[in-house]
Amino acid sequence: MPNIELISFKLCPFVQRSVITLLEKDIPFDITYIDLDDKPDWFLAISPTGKVPVLKINQDKILFESAVINEYLDEITSPSLHPDDPFTKAQHRAWIEFGSGLLMTSYRFMVATEQAKLDEHREQLINLLIKLEQEVSGKTFFNGKSFSLVDAALAPIFRWLEIMDRRLNTQLMLKAPGLIPWSNNMLRRPSVKNAVVDDFETLYIDRLRDSDALLRLNIQ
Ligand SMILES: N[C@@H](CCC(=O)N[C@@H](CS)C(=O)NCC(=O)O)C(=O)O
């Protein structure tokens, strides 16, 4: 097994995707946290996009982009969290990409500073959740009974939604209630629970409180 180091930011949902995969696949790893508001020079030197996650393999090889990192981690260990059938695998990749869009829409909703933008992003977010609901309603995990890379990619969204609904009264999950059993299954899974630091929720709420985002006014 190569030596694996994950470069992270404590609040980043894309990094969580890779931590979930590392934990699911029982891969030993070190994690290094950086401050994205003050990126270290060594990080800028190795990261082509300036974004986390970055995976360092045996100290010198670099991978970036969470979906790519996760496929690599999946391929160096077994059993695979991707389906064998090429069409189903391609579909899973498409839903992982859909999940990236969902994360970005959720983020725009969270940081909106004007009511019109907040409403616009809320509507977009709900529309995406309804599309996802049509795909997964009634299933334990995205692929049916077994946890896959799609679940690893989408679980961080459900952590955000759960905190937003409980602490910010956003009432988003009510708009796509068919997602609730799947969300609960993911959020109680050890890999998902352990993908963040213990004080994640406090850090998340404090960052929101210190921002100009309209949602800060909803903090309960
Ligand atoms: N498509 C990328 C997105 C990663 C991403 O957006 N990371 C954010 C933090 S959650 C970041 O590093 N932002 C820093 C910046 O944009 O300067 C992935 O899937 O890895």
Direct distance between the N- and C-terminal alpha carbons of the chain, in angstroms, rounded to an integer: 45
- With respect to residue 57, please indicate whether it lies within any of the assigned structural domains: yes
Residue 24 sits in the same domain as residue 117: no
- pLDDT, position 160: 98
Count of domains in the chain? 2
Examine the pLDDT at 210 and tell me if it is beyond 90: yes
What is the average per-residue pLDDT within 146-155? 98
Q: How far is the CA of 14 from the centre of ligand 1 (A)?
A: 7
Q: How far is the CA of 101 from the centre of ligand 1 (A)?
A: 12
- With respect to residue 81, please indicate whether it lies within any of the assigned structural domains: no
Residue 55 sits in the same domain as residue 110: no
Of 75, 108, 133, the residue at which a domain comes to its end is 75
Residue 113 sits in the same domain as residue 203: yes
- pLDDT, position 138: 87
Mean pLDDT, all residues of the chain:
97
CATH number for the domain that contains residue 13: 3.40.30.10
What's the domain range around 52? Answer: 4-75
Residue 139 sits in the same domain as residue 213: yes
- With respect to residue 80, please indicate whether it lies within any of the assigned structural domains: no
What is the average per-residue pLDDT within 156-165? 98
CATH number for the domain that contains residue 171: 1.20.1050.10
**Residue closest by Cα to atom 14 of ligand 1:** 51
- pLDDT, position 147: 98
Round to whole Å and give the CA distance between 56 and 170: 37
Q: State both tokens at 135.
A: 């795909």
Q: Kindly provide the residue ranges of all beta strands, DSSP E only, lying in the chain, ordered along the sequence.
A: 4-8, 30-33, 54-57, 61-64
* Candidate from 14, 103, 108 with most ligand 1 atoms within 8 A of CB, to mutate: 14
pLDDT in tens, 65-110: 999 999 999 999 999 999 999 999 999 999 999 999 999 999 999 9
Residue 35 sits in the same domain as residue 119: no
The reported pTM is 0.98
What is the average per-residue pLDDT within 183-211? 98
**Residue closest by Cα to atom 6 of ligand 1:** 51
- With respect to residue 39, please indicate whether it lies within any of the assigned structural domains: yes
- pLDDT, position 137: 85
Contact assessment for residue 161 and residue 173, using Cβ atoms and an 8 Å cutoff: yes
Residues with CB under 6 A from ligand 1: 9, 12-14, 36, 50-53, 65-67, 100
* Residue 7: count of CB within 10 angstroms of its CB: 24
